Amino acid sequence: MSLNRVLIAPARYVQGPNVIANLKEHTDKLGDKVIIALSAGAKKRLEATINASYGDVKPTYHVFNGECSKTEINRLAEVIKAENFNVVCSLGGGKAHDLAKAAAYYTKRSVVIIPTIASSDAPCSALSVIYTDDGAFEEYLFLPRNPDLVLVDTAVIAKAPVRTLVAGMGDALATYFEARASKQKDCTTCAGGVATITGQALARLCYDTLLSDSVKAKLSAEAGVPSQALEAIVEANTLLSGIGFESGGLGAAHAVHNGLTVLEESHAYLHGEKVAFGVMTHLFMENAPMEEIETVANYCLSVGLPIALGDIGMCNVSDEDLMRVAAAAAAPTDTAVNMPFHVSAETVFAAIKAADAYGRMKHSQH
């Protein structure tokens, strides 16, 4: 049986400095009763700007407790139904977006995602990650469609912590290599088919953009301004990587990330930081050409992304603990099985050790 080629994406993507100041213009295309899920901190920072855009009829703000749990999803869904909101927005980081996507899905409303950091490729996806009330991972909720609008204000992102932007580069760095591996095996992607040539091309464009513009973008963020390079990297981190992972396929880099979360030491590091080390491991698992490994490692060093275990708090990790990481990464339910060769806990373990040795060598030369 041959699978169909499938590509999914948000219905509309808008990016630029100060786009939040015109939020009403964008939500008017979808409905007239707007609720915005956000943290107390985000509300404090952006409420006045948003209210100015709406004039007399202000949107309603729904402050959530910081967790995308079933309790919080139900609480938001009840408010949406009781007051018949027809546009559900989220403003902030990943958990606010996961919450809005899930509540909008259960109440069949339009959803608008407004990221205030560019730390991962989650905003564009048709996926919510659900946690318990205590913040432990519970399940993935695969949604029937992507957000109706993703609105990215680069003036806001330029002033966000620079570390979040760099972590987004780490998440985006995985996209091309994972899509390339998935294609070699003709895997089914999150989009529910095999990758289109479009999805593959966007994944490649994501990598090329990172290589050409990351250092300039990081400097712009340090200066707090949305330069053209920052615009390019925000788009790569959010849109290219978002479509690239979802419609291009995942591989060992994210499986290694997921494995690393088994160890407490990794919890102080951002998703994309762990993914960057996952990319190095992925390349060693593939026995990628030395030239490519050098390019990726030099790239990581140029922006400050991890290339060795010590960079993610695991200087003294034992082989027993690393084997637990490797076993989790090689689980049949994770995405290392998308690699175009057999992956066992032993092969993941070997690749982690080899990538770490190489990363330490690079650090000693630097």
Q: Are 37 and 99 in contact (CB under 8 A)?
A: yes
C-alpha 251: how far from its chain's center? Answer: 15
Q: Closer to Zn ion by CB, 167 or 317: give it.
A: 167
Angle between helix axes 228-235 and 197-223 (nearest 10 degrees) is 140
> What is the rounded distance in angstroms from the CA atom of residue 277 to the CA atom of residue 94?
21
Instruction: Say which of 62, 97, 254, 282 is annotated catalytic.
Output: 254
The distance of closest approach from Cβ of residue 29 to Zn ion in the complex, given in angstroms and rounded to an integer, is: 29
CA distance 162 to 165: 5
Contact pick of 67, 72, 153, 171 for Zn ion (by CB under 5 A): 171
At its nearest, how many Å lie between Zn ion and the CB of residue 244? 11
Task: Count residues near Zn ion (CB under 5 A).
Answer: 1
Closest to Zn ion by CB, 171 or 213? 171
Identify whether 26 is a catalytic site residue.
no
Binding characters for Zn ion, 115-154, by CB under 5 A (x = yes): ----------------------------------------
The reply to whether 257 belongs to the active site is yes
Closest residue to Zn ion using C-beta atoms: 171
Q: Residue 90 or 125: which CB sits closer to Zn ion?
A: 125
Active site residue 342: no
Candidate list 257, 282, 311, 334, residue with the active-site label:
257
Which residue spans within 81-122 are E strands per DSSP?
A: 87-92, 110-115
Nearer to Zn ion, 37 or 276 (CB): 276
Is there binding between residue 273 and Zn ion (CB under 5 A)? no
Helical axes 162-185 vs 228-235, angle rounded to 10°:
50
DSSP-assigned letter for residue 69: B
* Strand 34-38 versus strand 149-153 pairing type: unpaired
For tokens 């609105």, the residue is 151
Q: For 178-214, b where at least 16 C-beta lie within 10 A, e where not — what string? A: bbbbbbeeebbbbbeebbbeebbebbbbbbebbeebb
In the complex, minimum distance from the CB of residue 118 to Zn ion, in angstroms, rounded to a whole number: 13
Smallest separation, CB 352 to Zn ion (Å) = 18
For the question of residue 254 being annotated catalytic, the response is yes
Residues with a known catalytic role: 171, 254, 257, 271
Q: Which residues bind Zn ion (CB under 5 A)?
A: 171
